Structure 1
Amino acid sequence: MKIAVLSDIHGNIAALEAVLAHSGALAVDRTVNLGDICSGPLWPAETADRLMPLALPTIRGNHERQVMEGTLTTMGQSDAYAKQALREDQLAWLSALPESLRLSERVLMVHGTPGSDLEYFLETVTEHGARPATTDEVVARAGPADADLILCGHTHIPRAVQLPDGRLVVNPGSVGLPAYEDARPFPHAMETGTPHARYATVCDDGGRWSVSFHAVPYDWEEAARAAETQNRPDWARALRNGRGMSG
C-alpha cells in the first residue's frame, strides 16, 4: 500500500495540480488530505472545486474551523478572503469535514496533534524560535493514540519521527505555502527554504511503514503574482523563496 499524503494546500491550485500529477506518476494507491485546504489569497474556490469530486479521505485543519466559526471582522486576512470567495456548497463541504480520521485501524490522520489542531507535533517553539521537537516531546503529544502511523500537518515542515514504541509520525510539509511566520507562543518563522510544493508518500512494507518526501516544481511565480494582486506581498515573498514572509 502506497499513500500520497497532502496537507496545507492553502488555495494554491497550481501547486496542487503539480503534486497530483507527480503522485499519479508514482502509482499511489490512495491520496489523503490533512486540512488547511483553501485559506489564503490565491484560488480558494478553484481548489475546492478540484478536490470535492475526488472525494479523498480529508480532515479539516485549524483554518477550516476558523472559516466556519469566525466572522469577517474577527478572522485573519487569509480566512476572510477564503470565506468571501467560497460558494455555499463549498463552505458546506468544509464544514462537514471531520477533525480526525482513521484511514484504517492502524493509520490515524490529524491536522496538528491528536489533541489540538493548533499544536505543533514535530516542532517546538521557544523564545529563541522553532526547533525540531525531542522524541520525549513527540511522545507526550502523541499520547495514547493507538496507531502504527500518525499523519499530521499544520507546521508546513516535512519531517518524520519514529517513536520508541514503533509508531511513526509523519508531516508531509505544505503543498501550497513553503513558509510562514507566527507570533504564538513566541515569534517564529517556519521555513523550507525553497518554493517547491511538498508532499510525502508512505508505504506499508510488510507491516512496517516507510516514508519518502517529495519537493515538486511548479509555476510559483504565477502563485506569487496572484498573491500580489490581492495585496499580499508577504505571501508573494514566501511563495518565491520559501523563507519567512518578512524576510
Structure 2
Amino acid sequence: MNDFDLDRFAVIADVHGNADALAAVLADIDALGLRSIFNLGDHVSGPLAPRETLALTMAREGMVSIRGNHDRWVVAGGENMYPSDRFARDELDEGQLAWLAALPATRRIGDVFLCHGTPRDDLEYWLETVTPSGDVVFRGMAEIARAAVGVDAGLALCAHTHLPRRVDLPDGRVILNPGSVGCPGYEDVDPVPHVVQTGTPLASYAVVERRGEAWATSFRQVLYDPTRMAGIARAAGREGWARAVSTGWLRGAPVIPPAR
C-alpha cells in the first residue's frame, strides 16, 4: 500500500451484497482513472449476492476496507441473527468469513480517518439523527463536532446511514459520507423505528481530491441494471429489498398530485 494515492481516490460504503451495483461502481472508478479506494464496510449483509460481492472486493487491488456493524454481526453468527445477516453468512465460504473477521473497525491512513458509524460506535449516525417520531434529520453541528473529538485527521470518512453528505467543521476538518453503493433504502428500530430511503436506485459513491490543505469532493450516482439483484431478493421472499433496490423507495414513492 506504499503507492496508495492520497491525493485522488474513491470512497465507497454499504454495498450490502449488491454485486451488480459494486461492479458498476468499480467500472466507473476505473473510467475516472482512480487507483485507490476506501471501503467503509457493511459489505455483504442482504439477500442479494454476498459471495460474489466479496469475491470482487477481495480481488480488488488498491482498496482499503474496514468493517461495518453488519459485517461484525455476520462474523459473530448466533441464533438471533437478522435475516439479511443470516443469508450472507450462509452464502460465504470460510475464507471470506475469515477476511471479514480480520477487518479493523477504524483506520487512519495519512490525513484520512475511516470509520463506519462514528469513531467510537459503528451503530451511531454521525451526520444525521432520528427524532422521537422516526424522522431522519440533519444532526446538529455541536453534536457532529462532539463526535469528532479526538480525530485529528483533516478528512473523516463515515457511512452507515446510506445518505451522501459532506459537513465542514469550523476548524476545517471535513466529514464525508459517500452514500450506499448497493442499498438505497432500509428500516431500523434503533433508537426508534425509522426508514431511510434515498429515492433513487442508482449506486452512490464519492470521489475525493486533495488540493493543498483543502479537500474537493463530489458524489457519483452510477446507473446499473438492478433486475438480477431484485430477482434474487424476491426469490428469498424479501420484497422490501427488491423494491428498494429497484426504485430507491422502501415504502413506495410519494404520490405527486397532478399539475393544476
For residue 115 of structure 1, what is the aligned residue in structure 2? 120
Deviation, structure 1 residue 194: 0.7
1:141 partnered with 2:150: no
1:169-192: CA deviation from partner (whole Å, max 9, x where unpaired): 000000000011111111211111
Alignment partner of 1:156: what SS?
A: coil
User: For the residues of structure 1 that align with 2:69 and 2:252, how far apart are their CA atoms?
Assistant: 23
For residue 44 of structure 2, what is the aligned residue in structure 1? 38
**Percent identity of equivalent pairs:** 48
User: For the residues of structure 1 that align with 2:124 and 2:50, how far apart are their CA atoms?
Assistant: 24
For residue 74 of structure 2, what is the aligned residue in structure 1? 67
Paired residue type of 1:237: R
Is the contact between residue 180 and residue 245 of structure 1 (CA under 8 Å) also seen in structure 2? no
Unaligned runs of 5+ in 1: none
Give the TM-score taking structure 1 as reference length.
0.96
For residue 248 of structure 2, what is the aligned residue in structure 1? 242
1:206-235: CA deviation from partner (whole Å, max 9, x where unpaired): 121111001111011221111101110010
How does 1:39-118 map onto structure 2 within 5 Å? 39-55=45-61, 56-71=63-78, 73-104=79-110, 106-118=111-123
Paired residue type of 1:121: W
Q: Which of 132, 139, 143 matches 1:127?
A: 132
Give the TM-score taking structure 2 as reference length.
0.91
Unaligned runs of 5+ in 2: 1-6, 254-260
1:5-29: CA deviation from partner (whole Å, max 9, x where unpaired): 0000001010001000111111113
Is the contact between residue 129 and residue 136 of structure 2 (CA under 8 Å) also seen in structure 1? yes
Paired residue type of 1:236: A
Alignment partner of 1:140: what SS?
A: helix
Q: Which of 5, 8, 19 matches 1:13?
A: 19
